[in-house]
Structure 1
Amino acid sequence: MKNLLYLTHRIPYPPNKGDKIRSFHLLQHLSKHHHVYLGTFVDSEEDWHYIDEVKKYCRDVCVVGLNPLTAKAKSLIALLSSTPLTLAYYYNTQLMQWVKTLHKTRSIQNVVVFSSSMAQYVEYWTDCRRIIDFVDVDSDKWYQYAQSKSWPFSWIYRREAKYLLGYEKKIAHIFDHSTFVSKKEAELFQQLALDLTDKITFFNNGVDTDFFSPARDYANPYPDGKKILVFTGAMDYWANVDAVNWFAHEIFPAIRAKQPDVCLYIVGAKPAKQVQMLASLPGIHVTGAVDDIRPYLAHATIAIAPLRIARGIQNKVLEAMAMQKPVIASTQAMEGIRAISSEELLVAENAEAFIQYIFTLLDTNSRCLMVGQAARKRVLQDYTWPANLSRIDALLCPSLHS
């Protein structure tokens, strides 16, 4: 087996949120065919408990603590230059030294970088095969943020979008291949980097369909006699905060006015203050972190994904579909997910459509069941990890897959 360096901006465990789900399954897959050397950061205290878990898949690891306040200060200094703030945020001397030592003392044949911020550590390596999983076009995400914020944040985010795009193009040019989380995301980057289209590809996210299975017995976490709308996700992530605030104020009151037995549950760790405040509104419950998200999906009536800012594939949508739940998603939340609208899930373009679809599903149990069954079938067909991760094997060892 060849030696492989794997760099991630956050420890790839536990697989309980967007980037960690993808980075963990990628680590697990890579360890089957390579001796993996992992360099990564820990940015929350509880994640230090999981180092032994990632060591199971690695020959060696370098885990560095990242203090968000210190990292933000480093980013602010970068405002005086043309360096993307993201790179300054994730630069660390200790990790750089470990990478340099590894380069000198180990024969590293392959490098896989997870997210653009980590490419700086192997930017000048030329004696091995380098693959970067950008996941999303992060520069475009910053541009979306700029569109919805006032000055000075709009200026800062627009600046980050500009300089990060330049860096993304640079890395895509010098690396052997660049991957993204969906065909649509890859096509977006191809439009931004027309001279690199032959080096840009994608592999979809997957779902552990044995774990996210509706066939298991789950204790009901909800009160009896209620119809439940559920939103799941990391609730300190701004796109999720924006989504539930918009839904709670623009959509949910109309639902409650006609059906007061309907409740909205917002399920996810670290709810921001804006999210916590929603719990004071009639029918809205904010759980915070839960040990297992599956019961909240299994016993919900409808899963919602009303995101107005989104990039790549939304794991929350795939997990709900795998649990055989009818999902109502915004157009943005559906980017990158191949599913038949109105059959395998419902796509709402505005608040009025959300309201109409919710009432339709609440009033028709057979429609809920039909959409949920079709949703799980789609996940089983297109969104399993083994099938999707096999694409990266061909990039790392093209001679074996030609």
Structure 2
Amino acid sequence: MRILFIVDDVPHSGSAGGYQIVFQRLSRLAARGHEVGVACFCDPEKQHLGDELRESVRWVKLVPRPSLQRHAILARALRFRRPWWFARAYSPHMEKVVGDMVEELEFPVAVAEFSVMGQYFLLNPHLPAVRRVISCHSSPWFSCLRALGVHRPGSHAWCALACRMAGMKRFEFTVYRNADWIITLSPSERYWLLTMAPGLDISIVPPGVDITHFVPRPAEKTEKAVMFMGRFADETNVDAVLWFASSVWPRVVSRHPEMRFYIVGPEPPPAVRTLAKVDSRIVVTGRVADVRAYLERARVFVCPVRFGSGLRAKVLEAMAAGVPVVSTVLGMEGIPAEPGGNCFMADKPEMMAAYVDLLLNDLNLNREIGLAARRTMEQHFDWEKLINSLESLLQRMVPAESADSRA
């Protein structure tokens, strides 16, 4: 079957977060014999990643990313009547590319990865008849609503976010209603969408983790270090690191002055890089070739996210590697968490610091929690099992004779 994926960045083997989920989906479907195409935005410095992607799928079309300058986003929002978060990812060029690929290559089904890319199914004058699936990794409206609860009402950040949310709810759910099917990563995300729009057709298709790629490490060979990883173009990750560094880290280093904090992931903004300048025990790596090198070092993985939604691939990878996780309750959303069994959860800085301290000191407990986390990944998040769900859903979307005629 031919399947077109529409993505707002180039998915590749070294991708972080949701883009790693996308890469695993399309590459594993291609490995099963499906003819996969990808239309994605690409920055000039990432052109080489398109060549890597072409090794996994049959067709790749790289589209220049629209400007992310504030005035340019505002201009697109006003001209094309789209809310801020959707205007950030809107390009008439991409609209035409998607339509042309569907028509010329006769794709029977297209998958928009991330909700903002679902707008290319809505009022697209270039788009022929095609089955439209939106993969909602996290609802932009719901994520922003949670972010409002974190910022102080009336503050600059709160007001800026409130302004950018104007018109978002109505537009986002219009995009969903225009699709033939929605898939979410977790039951909680599905519940939220159905609460807002009961008539939507939604299936849960969880992401997986490559349990052969991530393997447990001996706790006694780790450093006295904590680790966070994520893609810092996502404001959720920026806020998580800054909150941990200001509210939790001082409590931890007061008990363990020799320890380190590894912050791993691409595109760290100045506010995150500054952390390493004011404290030599904090290491900001930027993009790394292989996160496993840091997962092997770290004694504890922290996920202090305070807003956002969806299931976090970073937590799956840490748990698969047998690194015990200390997270906010929100950070474990969509994962069968057993506090004190396969993870620890805390929303208060003092409790999070206490759990980190416990896992730093007690290597036997560290090992037990890590191995329990690994078993959870093996039981619930093995990619080879979960890709069956996505494949079956897409096959149900397309009549057999239609899929066969395009094979």
Structure 1 counterpart SS, 2:207: coil
TM-score by length of 2: 0.87
Structure 1 counterpart SS, 2:210: coil
Deviations 1:346-391 (A, max 9, x none): 1112111112212222221110010001000101111122222222
Which residue pairs with 1:94 in the alignment?
A: 93
Instruction: Give the superposition deviation at 1:41.
Output: 0.5
Which of 333, 355, 372 does residue 335 from structure 1 map onto? 333
Which residue pairs with 1:169 in the alignment?
A: 173
Indicate yes or no: 2:58 matched with 1:56: no
Alignment of 1:268-283 (within 5 A): 268-279=265-276, 280-281=278-279, 283=281
Task: Decide whether aligned partners of structure 1 residues 163 and 385 sit closer, same or farther in structure 2, where only a CA change above 3 A counts.
Answer: farther
Q: Distance in 1 between matches of 2:280 and 2:35?
A: 54
Structure 2 counterpart SS, 1:195: coil
Which residue pairs with 1:353 in the alignment?
A: 351
Which residue pairs with 1:75 in the alignment?
A: 73
Q: Read off the aligned partner of 1:396 and give its amino acid letter.
A: L
User: % of aligned pairs identical?
Assistant: 27
Q: Distance in 1 between matches of 2:128 and 2:181?
A: 13
Alignment of 1:181-330 (within 5 A): 181-196=185-200, 199-214=201-216, 227-279=224-276, 280-281=278-279, 283-330=281-328
Instruction: Give the superposition deviation at 1:282.
Output: 5.6
Which residue pairs with 2:64 in the alignment?
A: 65
Q: Read off the aligned partner of 1:185 and give its amino acid letter.
A: E
Q: Distance in 2 between matches of 1:248 and 1:195?
A: 43
Q: Read off the aligned partner of 2:184 and give its amino acid letter.
A: F
CA contact (8 A) 1:15 1:24 kept: no
Deviations 1:53-73 (A, max 9, x none): 222343332211215445x43
Q: Distance in 2 between matches of 1:399 and 1:78?
A: 33
Task: Decide whether aligned partners of structure 1 residues 364 and 314 sit closer, same or farther in structure 2, where only a CA change above 3 A counts.
Answer: same
Structure 1 residue runs without a partner (length 5+): none
Which of 130, 149, 167 does residue 128 from structure 1 map onto? 130
Q: Distance in 2 between matches of 1:395 and 1:47?
A: 32
**Structure 1 residues 115-124 or 5-14, which shifts more?**
115-124
Q: Read off the aligned partner of 1:9 and give its amino acid letter.
A: D
Q: Read off the aligned partner of 2:139 and give its amino acid letter.
A: V
CA contact (8 A) 2:109 2:398 kept: no
Instruction: Give the superposition deviation at 1:269.
Output: 2.6
Q: Distance in 1 between matches of 2:286 and 2:340?
A: 31
Task: Decide whether aligned partners of structure 1 residues 156 and 373 sit closer, same or farther in structure 2, where only a CA change above 3 A counts.
Answer: same
Structure 2 counterpart SS, 1:5: strand
Indicate yes or no: 2:20 matched with 1:18: no
Indicate yes or no: 2:143 matched with 1:141: yes
Q: Distance in 1 between matches of 2:263 and 2:379?
A: 29
Instruction: Give the superposition deviation at 1:154.
Output: 3.3
Q: Distance in 2 between matches of 1:144 and 1:355?
A: 23
CA contact (8 A) 2:319 2:325 kept: yes
Which residue pairs with 1:116 in the alignment?
A: 115
Q: Distance in 2 between matches of 1:168 and 1:344?
A: 35
TM-score by length of 1: 0.88
Which residue pairs with 2:405 in the alignment?
A: none
Alignment of 1:369-380 (within 5 A): 369-380=367-378
Task: Decide whether aligned partners of structure 1 residues 84 and 30 sit closer, same or farther in structure 2, where only a CA change above 3 A counts.
Answer: farther
Task: Decide whether aligned partners of structure 1 residues 383 and 103 sit closer, same or farther in structure 2, where only a CA change above 3 A counts.
Answer: closer
Which residue pairs with 2:382 in the alignment?
A: 384
Alignment of 1:360-371 (within 5 A): 360-371=358-369
Instruction: Give the superposition deviation at 1:204.
Output: 1.2
Deviations 1:135-167 (A, max 9, x none): 111111122334427566534533544523222
Instruction: Give the superposition deviation at 1:395.
Output: 2.1
CA contact (8 A) 2:108 2:398 kept: no
Q: Distance in 1 between matches of 2:304 and 2:352?
A: 8
Deviations 1:9-29 (A, max 9, x none): 111124421121111112113
Q: Read off the aligned partner of 2:385 and give its amino acid letter.
A: A
Which residue pairs with 2:34 in the alignment?
A: 34
Q: Which has the higher contact order (CA 8 A, sep 6+)?
A: 2
CA contact (8 A) 2:226 2:302 kept: yes
Which residue pairs with 2:391 in the alignment?
A: 393
Task: Decide whether aligned partners of structure 1 residues 151 and 365 sit closer, same or farther in structure 2, where only a CA change above 3 A counts.
Answer: closer
RMSD: 2.6
Q: Read off the aligned partner of 2:37 and give its amino acid letter.
A: Y
Instruction: Give the superposition deviation at 1:172.
Output: 2.3
Q: Distance in 2 between matches of 1:228 and 1:301?
A: 6
Structure 2 counterpart SS, 1:258: coil
Q: Distance in 1 between matches of 2:311 and 2:255?
A: 33
Which residue pairs with 2:106 in the alignment?
A: 107
**Structure 1 residues 375-384 or 30-39, which shifts more?**
30-39
Q: Read off the aligned partner of 2:239 and give its amino acid letter.
A: D
**Structure 1 residues 25-34 or 107-116, which shifts more?**
25-34
Deviations 1:102-121 (A, max 9, x none): 34434321111112222232
Which residue pairs with 1:9 in the alignment?
A: 8
